[in-house]
Homo-oligomer: A and B are copies of this chain.
């Protein structure tokens, strides 16, 4: 496909020839186009010199198109409609009548935030298609970097080494969507289970069930604040499994509130706040410049508009 744009033909020439055909005079064409009369006159002369073909001839005190001119004028409509198709498609993108968003989010979001987002998008921007893949924050950021997704919903703990704000230096931008606190999960019969807020120090001798690697890191940090190093007996990033392991008496655990939303808490386990408290924040990460892509900006707006109160999320 050689796709050669004739450098001698430019849109302005076609526009002007067309206007002359419509108006019948150069002055009239200038009025149609919003130019001064000499502008059109000179442009025609330049075009004729480029093409080495007269486009108009003077007749009386007016002007008329030559054969070459009428040929150009005839083509103007075709060319204009090809351009209009292109600019119409761009306008559709700009006007959110179409567009595709490729989104990744961490597993817990898949069953909570993402469904809500998709539903809201379907209502507010029915023309925008959202493709979703599940990915842990580090993988999601990698996908963003390689361009295979447009938006990533991630989480981070304060002081996290892979805090999204670190990424912002590198062409990515992040916004915090929500914050939530973490809770401890205790077996129903645990001595501290009747306290409303559990002091972590009282759990220093328990066996702990840790979550994903970054959650485990956070657990270690919080326990260090409380003055002990937790003994980690199991690791799984499946929150439902964690709760059920606790209910089975295999240990205690710390989870973000959001993890509880999609998991039914079985009779054998109870959920308690703890002290020192700790929080997790949920972010939206995108390429720098995504703010200017309408479909991505719209998705961001909709995400910010979601209400997570009923899940213990605090909008930022």
Enumerate chain A interface residues (CB-CB to B < 8 A): 1, 3-6, 8-11, 14-15, 18, 48, 51-54, 57-60, 64, 66-68, 71-72, 75-80, 82-87, 89-90, 93-94, 99-100, 145-147, 171, 287, 289, 292-295
Nearest CB on B from A100, distance (A): 6
Would B54 and A293 count as touching, CB distance under 8 A?
Answer: yes
Given contacts A4-B80, A53-B94, A57-B147, 15 further A-B contacts (CB under 8 A): A3-B77, A9-B86, A51-B90, A51-B94, A52-B94, A52-B292, A58-B171, A59-B147, A66-B293, A72-B86, A75-B85, A78-B82, A78-B86, A79-B82, A82-B82
Q: Point out the residue from B68, B72, B90, B145 that lies within 8 Å of A68, measured CB to CB.
A: B90
Residues of B within 8 A of A86 (CB): 9, 14, 71-72, 75, 78-79
Residues of B within 8 A of A53 (CB): 90, 93-94, 292-294
**Main SS class of interface, A:** helix
Would B68 and A78 count as touching, CB distance under 8 A?
Answer: no
Q: Which residue of B lies closest to A99 (CB)?
A: B67
Would A54 and B6 count as touching, CB distance under 8 A?
Answer: no
Nearest CB on B from A54, distance (A): 5
Whether A3 touches B80, Cβ cut-off 8 Å, given contacts A53-B93, A146-B60, A147-B59, is yes
Q: Which 4 pairs across A and B sit closest by C-beta, in order of nearness? A: A75-B86, A59-B147, A6-B87, A82-B82
Residues of B within 8 A of A83 (CB): 5-6, 9, 79
State how many copies of this chain the complex holds.
2
Nearest CB on B from A305, distance (A): 23
Q: Point out the residue from B58, B82, B93 that lies within 8 Å of A71, measured CB to CB.
A: B93
> How far does the alpha carbon of A67 sit from the alpha carbon of B145 in the complex, in Å?
16
Nearest CB on B from A1, distance (A): 7
Q: Which residue of B lies closest to A148 (CB)?
A: B59
Nearest CB on B from A258, distance (A): 30
Nearest CB on B from A273, distance (A): 42
Would B85 and A78 count as touching, CB distance under 8 A?
Answer: yes
Would A59 and B90 count as touching, CB distance under 8 A?
Answer: no
Nearest CB on B from A11, distance (A): 6
Nearest CB on B from A44, distance (A): 12
Q: Which residue of B lies closest to A1 (CB)?
A: B77
Q: Which residue of B lies closest to A5 (CB)?
A: B15
Nearest CB on B from A177, distance (A): 22
Q: Can you give 16 A-B contacts (C-beta < 8 A)?
A: A4-B84, A9-B90, A10-B11, A48-B292, A57-B289, A58-B171, A60-B145, A60-B147, A64-B147, A67-B93, A68-B90, A72-B86, A75-B85, A75-B89, A78-B82, A79-B82
